[in-house]
Structure formats: C-alpha cells, structure tokens
Amino acid sequence: MNENSILLKMQDISKSFPGVLANDHVTIECEKGHVLGLLGENGAGKTTLMNILYGLYQPDQGKIFVDGKQVVINSPSEAINHGIGMVHQHFKLVDTLSVIENVILGIPTNKAVLDFGPAKKKLEKLCKEYELFVDPEEIVWRLPVGKQQWVEILKALYRDCKVLVLDEPTAVLTPSESDQLCRAIRKITEQGRSVVFISHKLREVIEITDKVTVIRDGKVIGTVNTKEATQSILAEMMVGRPVTIERKARPTVKEHSAVLVMKNVNAFDDRGVQALKDFNLTVHAGEIVGVAGVDGNGQRELSECITGLRKPSSGSITIQDKQVTNVIADPSFVGFIPEDRQKTGLVLDFTVAENLLIKDYKEKPYVKNGFLQYSEMKKHAEHMIKKYNIKSPSGDIKVKTLSGGNQQKVVIARELDAQPVLDVASHPTRGLDLGAVSNVHDILLNERNRGAAVLFISAELQEVMALSDRIVVLYSGQIMGELNGETADQFTIGQMMLGQTTEAKK
Amino acid sequence: MRTKQKIIKVPFIGDLIYSSGHTILGILLGIFTGGLLIAISGVNPFLAYASMFRGAFNSLQSFSNVLVRSSPLLLGGIGVAIGIKSGVWNTGIEGYMYIGAIGATIVAIPELGLPPIIHILLCFIVAMLFAGLWGAIPGYLRAYKGVNEVTATIMLSYVAIYFTNWIVSGSPLAQEGAYFPMSLPFAESSLLSILMKGTSLHPGPFIGLLMCIIFHIILKYTPFGFRTRMLGYNPFAAQYAGINSKKQIVMTMVIGAMLGGLGGAIEVLGLKHRLYMEFVTGVGYESVAVALVAGGEPIGVMLSALFFSILKVGGATMSIETGVSSSMASIIIALCVLFVIGVGVADSKRLKKRDEKDPGKKTLSFKMEEAVK
Ligand SMILES: Nc1ncnc2c1ncn2[C@@H]1O[C@H](COP(=O)(O)OP(=O)(O)OP(=O)(O)O)[C@@H](O)[C@H]1O
Ligand SMILES: [Mg+2]
C-alpha cells in the first residue's frame, strides 16, 4: 500500500483510566478518500480513541500522524488546526443559540462586531453541497434531532476538516435520514477527505465504509476490507460469538388483563404543535406492543403522557384502572426508559450508584433514620453493575465517565429491575452494541413472560418485528394501523410509517 | 505485575478540603490582586495587610468583632448557598433579615415573663416564620409563575426595607422622640447573652457555624439534600424522577429566607437590642458574595464568611493606619468573587482531566499502591 495515501494514522495508542484500560496499543489507519468504520462493544474504547484524536484526552503512549506528519494534539482547537473535525456521540450544541451562531461559535475572529453575512453564505453553500438542509436562523432546540445532527456535521465541515469523525451519528437518525447521511459522506470522501465512522448498526457499516477496524476491550481484534465482510463476520469479531437479532419463541401468557388504556388522548409537543391526535391504545399484561414509526411522529409525547411527564390536553390514560395524573416515578409500578438518556434519564454529575437510585433513594435500605446510606447504595450499585453487565469500575464514579452504551444500561437497570406492571421502553437499545441489544430483548421478553405489559417504542423496524406481539404504526400522532407481530411484513409497516395506509384503504 | 489502587476515605475532612479548594484559591488571588491595587495607590501592601491583620486579631475584642461581623454573613451565606445548589438565585437575604428582625422585635419588646432561653427561642421562631413567609412569595412566583427570582427577591428587599422604616418610625412599636428611627427597647429576657466580658461576642457566629455544618450534612446525607442537588444538576431528570421541582424550589427559597431571617433576628437581639432603620445595610448582598466565593458549599461558606468579616473589621484599621481607601475591603471582596468564578471556569477544564485520573476525588484519598499477584 502506498504510504502517501494514508491520511490518518494513530499508532500504538494506549490510554488508561482508573480501573480501566480503555485503549491498549491501538493502531488504526485511514486512507485518503476512504471511510474507516470503528466497531466494538459498549465500552470497547472507540469514543476514547476519537477523543484522543480530537485533543480531549492525552494518550499514555502512541503517535498520531496526519498526512504523513507526526502531530501532537493538546486541545480541540489544535485538532481543528490539523484538519480534524468531530461529531460527538452526544450533542454538543448550545440549545438556545441559532444554527449559525452554533456553527461559528469558537472560531476566532478579529472583528469587534460579528458579521453573520459571509458565515451564513458559506453555511448555505455547504448545506447545498452536501444536501443537509437547515435554516441558519432557527434556534437549535426547535430543530428535530436529525436536523441537529446536520448542524453538528456542518459545524465540522465549516471548519474545513480533512478527517471527519462521526461518533454514532445515526443512533438518533431515521432510516431515510441515515441514507441522506450516507450520501453526504460519499460526497465528503469524493473530495479526498476521510471519515471515521462509528456505529453499532452493521448494515450501515457495511454500506458506507471501505475498511472496518474492530476493537474489543480496548484492543484491536482486526481490520477487514468491507467488501470481504458480512454482518455475521463483523458481529462475531465484535462480540466473540455469533449474535443475530431475530424473533425468539415465546410462550403465551395466561394473564391478559388490560394494563394501559389510553382513550382519545390529545397532546401537544414543546413547540405547541399537536403531537397526539385522538390517540387510543390498550396494552395488556403479558404482551409486547411495538410502536413503529419514524421518530418525531409523537413517540416522545406518547411515552411522556403515559408516565405523567406531560399533561394531555384531553382524553384519559389509566394504568391498572388508576388514572395517570402526576409523574409516575415508582419503578415497581411503571418502568420508563426515556428516549434521551443524558437529558432526562440521568444526572450526569451524580455517581452510578446515585443514578441507579434517583427514584428509590428514599426507600428502605437506602435511608435509615432520615439519612442516606451510601454504603447500601454502593452495594446496590455493585449488584446492578454485575447483573446488567455495566462496564464501570465501581459505583462511585460519575455516570458521565461511562461510555454511551453503558450509560444506557444504567437507565435500563434502574427501570426494569423492580419488575414493573408496565414497561415503557423508548428506544431502549439506542447506542447499545449487538450483544447488549440482544440482552435487552431478552430482558423485555422476560418481562412479558412474567406478565408485565410492555410498550416498546423504536425506530428500528427489525427490532420491533423481532420483539412485538402486536405492532402499531405511529404516524403524525395517530395510529396508522395495527399488525400481528408474527405475521407483519416489513413492506406494509414501511408503507404505514410513511402515512400511506389510509389512502390505500380509501 | 499489576498494581491496584486502594483508597482510604476520610469523608468529612475530604469534603471540607475538596469543597474549600476553589474558595481558598480565589481568596488568595483576591488578596494578591488587592495587594497590587494597594501598591498602585502608593502604600506598601505588606504594611497594609499587616495592619489589617492586626485590626482583626490584635485583641480578643477585635477578634470577637470579626466573629460578630460574620454571624449574619454565615447565615445569609448558607441561605444563598442552598439556593445555588438547587439552581435558584435567592438574592433577597437583605429583605429576609429585615423581616426576620421585625418578627423578632414584635415578640422581643413585651415583657412576657418567660425564662430567657424560651423568650429567645420564641423570637427566633417568629423571625423565621416571618422571613419564611416572606421568602415564599418569590419562591411561589418563581416556581409557579416563572418570575425571575433575582428580580423578585431584590424588589421585595426594598419593600422590606421601607416596611422596617415604617415600623421604627410610625408604628406603635417605634420609640417616640428618638434621635434616629428605632423601635422600643427589647425586654431583658429576649437579649442574647454576651459570651465574653468586655466584648460584644454573642452566640450568633456559633449558631451560624453550626448551621453550616448542619446544612452540609443535610445536603450530602439526606433525601432532601439528594433532591436539592438533583434539581440543581439536572432539572429534567429531577422531574422524571418524580421530584416536585416547584415544591422543592419553594422549599429551598423558604429555608434560605428563614436562615436570613434568623440572621437578622440575631443581629437585633444580640447586638443592637432594638430594631433600627437600615441596621444591616448591604449585609444581605454580601451574603450573596459569600455564597459565590464558597461555590455554593456550606463548608466553604464558613471560610468565606470569616474571611469577609476579617476584611471588613481589619479593613477599617488598615484604612485608618495606612490611608488606604476604606472601600478597599469591598474591592477585595469583589475581586475574590470574580476570581472564584474564574477559577471555577478554568478548573472545569482541569477537572475533566482529573476526573479521568481520580474518580474518588470528592473524598480525600490516600492511595496506596498495593501489589497484586
Ligand atoms: N473520563 C473517563 N473517566 C473514567 N473512565 C472513562 C472515561 N471515559 C471513558 N472511560 C472508560 O473507558 C472505557 C471506554 O469508553 P468509551 O467511551 O471509549 O467506549 P465506547 O467504545 O465509545 O463505547 P459506546 O459504544 O458505549 O459508546 C469505558 O469503560 C469507560 O467507562
Ligand atoms: Mg462511545
């Protein structure tokens, strides 16, 4: 291979955190105009490696070469100067600023008064070039997640990067948005730039990358040419055993009373747009109802109304005949995995132990004589870390130092361990590796078999089909149709997701 | 050979050192820059600080002045600090002090024939009740109506000040024909005892220090504190976890107000023995600075409140002896606030790196490298 064509090389990188060796002599290479996929289980060290490249962490050892020259990167601004751009696993945008303000934020300027004119022109040009359209004037929090992702990418491109790192960019994207991203990535590489692409979705990895490096426990397991790889090869390299997401046999559950009953529910989203329209749904004990649909069609409002976080404007919601009026924060009644773990599900500055108990902190063993029992909380954390396979050196560390997928596992552990009557799982597998996805499926299936009512909201069609007894398709705040989980076919669901059933029926 | 880190924790001292780190650094930088300013004004800063130090410590009396001066700052400081912990700026301490003092005055003036301890407790309770109700107003407005609490509390402080003016000049409680607006004198049994002959040292500062420790424990080790911190760190998660954030906000503001009210009551019962017009000018606002320098930590409040009162008491001596402007003490206070905030910003970058190295950072940890086979 011609050495000159290698745009990025990270050689023999090691990085340890207390109790964890996050990167262990890792070497990766990416050629000019290529896409390198990084695959690995949760906590394998992918984000850490990229944070090193972006100057957020200093490696304990190892060298970085950009364009054949060795570079030392001490901070993100140095990384940007070396032509490295990064889209982080969790959004780093300032919610209350506009798109254009976010894009130019942090770019040094020698003007006293900011002139947005040229910046806006440049941004609009980029939008057109990569077909990632956003309105520069819009305030970021008003944008749907997908658009926010575009802003992150445009922000990196605006800084004219040679190497673009995308850390799980598709976790929050709809399938069609993911396709759009793939097209943009192709355009980026055509210009001789390189992309490092991290994802747990093997299909995408195979579609978009040229080479894939698989990392396990901080070590490189191997690098393969994507052409020669299949999903199952990659899965096996990643997890060390074959894993597939498929429908598993399930017993019928005798207990079949209605647990969640929603009648004519109307609700509005934060922007004041109607998000649920005369919504009716019943979920019974011992069944998994999958809610399929493109994200942003009322999924978030649905889950929030059920758990009392959002007040419906009209209609009634009952759980075991009890009207939902206030926030339900009793995990032994309703377990709720919210869609945005960092914003809603976790207190990042709390420890793992505290986060596992943000709902139950005032219950028996954790409070004695009015005082919190940190030793009991710690014991509980240690137990949960083992039981749910959370990669964390102890319960005492802040949850924000865990890898993205392991943060998600903390939420899952907290919400599902208490055996609730109703599970509301909103994108529970987002950001999880294949093995962990299959574990979560097992957990949810066990919940169902135990007799819990499970509402499974997901944008992953394959997962919905693998897991659900019944599938409802949500479109524009309404249920487009209901299908049997055993017999549903992808095409019909896909049609309904685009809102086409009603016309077809008419 | 692998090495395993063994961490021995000393919770309380660890907490103390950790939570005081920023405070101490900010104070040192403030002193240093203050020194530069003193030098610029043509005075040898070493001499000036020496004179300040003497002013604060040369006699038991001056040291007791420092303590007495710190009493309202300690109580007001924690009042603001617990607000900061839960994410609200409870800046109305000045007003709470007046309202608390009014409450105390109402029950302190009449001879009730109670033993002193009971009479004093009654004064404290009424003071806290009054101030608590007063604090419930901005608390309610903030939590349920979305009114900015800084504006609301400061506005209400003015109302409290003018209300006090009326009490001491036009109400039945006012002393008639006084040279300065003041209330009738308090009954003997309501006055705080002097702890040291020849000084004005009353139990107030010790009550304040005790409250700092109590609130440190409450914040760290009780469910109420857990809720408060959760709300401050992530209000969305707090709501999700079922915390009634509105109620919690009202509660922290009311508690802050009660502490401020207690501070005001102690001032009049311990020091003034009557209610005067404008008896705490600016102390309430200094409490906000105290809490800021303390980084919202009750333990830090102990340090910064004592430091501020050293500055205030010693600053007077410094100004008399060396001719440095008497406002230098306030300037140094302001510098400390700025530096603590600045240190906080600079430190958040460093902390990120240290987080990687030492997850047990909130506890003072002695690490012993222990060889493991
Ligand atoms: N700042 C930190 N302090 C302590 N440990 C950390 C820190 N950052 C990462 N780690 C640890 O390093 C390991 C690797 O984490 P990393 O975030 O790189 O995983 P990842 O491969 O990106 O996983 P995921 O797919 O879940 O995002 C994890 O065990 C994590 O707990
Ligand atoms: Mg990651």
Cβ contact B360–A396 (<8 Å)? yes
Contacts of A358 in chain B (CB under 8 A): 230, 237, 241
Is B221 at the interface with chain A, CB within 8 A? yes
Nearest Cα of chain B lies from the Cα of A472 at a distance, in angstroms, of: 26
Cβ contact B237–A328 (<8 Å)? no
Is B222 at the interface with chain A, CB within 8 A? yes
Nearest CA to ligand 1 atom 7: A401
Judged by its nearest atom, the ligand closest to the C-alpha of residue A404 is: 1
ipTM, two decimals, is 0.84
Fold observed for domain B42-324:
ABC transporter involved in vitamin B12 uptake, BtuC (1.10.3470)
User: Poorest-confidence range of A67-76, A175-184, B329-338, B356-365?
Assistant: B356-365
Per-residue pLDDT for B353 more than 90? no
Q: Which residue positions in chain A have pLDDT lower than 70?
A: 1-4, 110-113, 501-506
Quick one: which atom of ligand 1 is closest to the CA of A397? 4
Q: Which chain A residue shows the shortest CA-CA distance from B355?
A: A401
Domains in chain A, start-ordered, CATH in brackets? 3-239 (3.40.50.300), 246-333+420-506 (3.40.50.300), 348-414 (no CATH)
Ligand 1: centre distance to CA B238 (Å) = 25
Is B18 at the interface with chain A, CB within 8 A? no
- What secondary structure, in 3-state letters, does A415-440 show? HHCCCCCEEEEECCCCCCCHHHHHHH
Mean pLDDT across chain B? 85
Strand partners, A98: A139
Nearest Cα of chain B lies from the Cα of A333 at a distance, in angstroms, of: 13
Q: Is the Cβ atom of A20 under 6 angstroms away from ligand 1?
A: yes
Is B242 at the interface with chain A, CB within 8 A? yes
User: Which position has the higher pLDDT, B368 or A463?
Assistant: A463
Which whole number is the average pLDDT over B83-93? 93
pTM above 0.80, yes or no: yes
Ligand 1: centre distance to CA B229 (Å) = 25
Which of A244-258, B13-27, B263-277 is the most confident on average? B263-277
- pLDDT band of residue B368 (cuts 50, 70, 90) is very low
pLDDT at A84: 94
Instruction: Report d(CA A498, CA A488) in Å as an integer.
Output: 16
Contacts of B355 in chain A (CB under 8 A): 398, 401
Q: What is the DSSP string of A187-251?
A: HHHHTT-EEEEE-S-HHHHHHH-SEEEEEETTEEEEEEEGGG--HHHHHHHHHSS-----PPP-P
DSSP A160: T
pLDDT at B275: 93
Cβ contact B241–A329 (<8 Å)? yes
Is B369 at the interface with chain A, CB within 8 A? no
pLDDT at A506: 36
CA A169 to chain centre: 8
Ligand 2: centre distance to CA A42 (Å) = 7
Which pairs with CB-CB distance under 8 Å and at least 24 residues apart come from B304-310?
A: B304/B23, B304/B27, B304/B77, B304/B336, B305/B70, B305/B73, B305/B74, B305/B77, B305/B208, B306/B66, B306/B70, B307/B27, B307/B336, B308/B70, B308/B73, B308/B333, B309/B66, B309/B67, B309/B69, B309/B70, B309/B73, B310/B52, B310/B56, B310/B66
Contacts of A309 in chain B (CB under 8 A): 239-240
Per-residue pLDDT for B371 more than 50? no
Name the residue facing A343 among B230, B236, B352 (closest C-beta): B236
Instruction: Report d(CA A223, CA B70) in Å as an integer.
Output: 66
Per-residue pLDDT for B7 more than 80? no
DSSP A73: -
Instruction: Report d(CA A373, CA B162) in Å as an integer.
Output: 47
A271 Cβ contact list (under 8 Å, min separation 6): A142
Residues B99-139 have pLDDT tens digits of 999 999 999 999 988 999 999 999 999 999 999 999 999 99
Taking the CA of residue A93 as centre, how many other CA atoms within 13 Å lie in the half-sphere pointing to its CB? 30
Contacts of A370 in chain B (CB under 8 A): 222-223
Contacts of A330 in chain B (CB under 8 A): 242
Residues A20-48 have pLDDT tens digits of 899 999 999 999 999 999 999 989 999 99
Is A491 at the interface with chain B, CB within 8 A? no
pLDDT at A424: 96
Judged by its nearest atom, the ligand closest to the C-alpha of residue A41 is: 1
Residues B274-321 have pLDDT tens digits of 999 988 888 988 999 999 888 888 988 999 999 999 988 998 888 888
Cβ contact A346–B355 (<8 Å)? no
Is A350 at the interface with chain B, CB within 8 A? yes
Phi, psi of B68 (to 5 degrees): -60, -40
pLDDT at A355: 96
Residues B150-174 have pLDDT tens digits of 999 999 999 999 999 999 998 899 9
pLDDT at A144: 82
Domain with CATH 1.10.3470 in chain B: 42-324
Per-residue pLDDT for B226 more than 90? yes
Q: Rounded to whole angstroms, what are the CA distances from A129 to A183, A184, A203, A361? A: 11, 9, 26, 51
Name the residue facing A17 among B223, B236, B356 (closest C-beta): B356
Phi, psi of A13 (to 5 degrees): -85, 130
Ligand 2: centre distance to CA A165 (Å) = 12
Ligand 2: centre distance to CA A405 (Å) = 7
pLDDT at A331: 85
Nearest Cα of chain A lies from the Cα of B347 at a distance, in angstroms, of: 15
Ligand 1: centre distance to CA A218 (Å) = 10
Nearest Cα of chain A lies from the Cα of B238 at a distance, in angstroms, of: 8
Is B367 at the interface with chain A, CB within 8 A? no
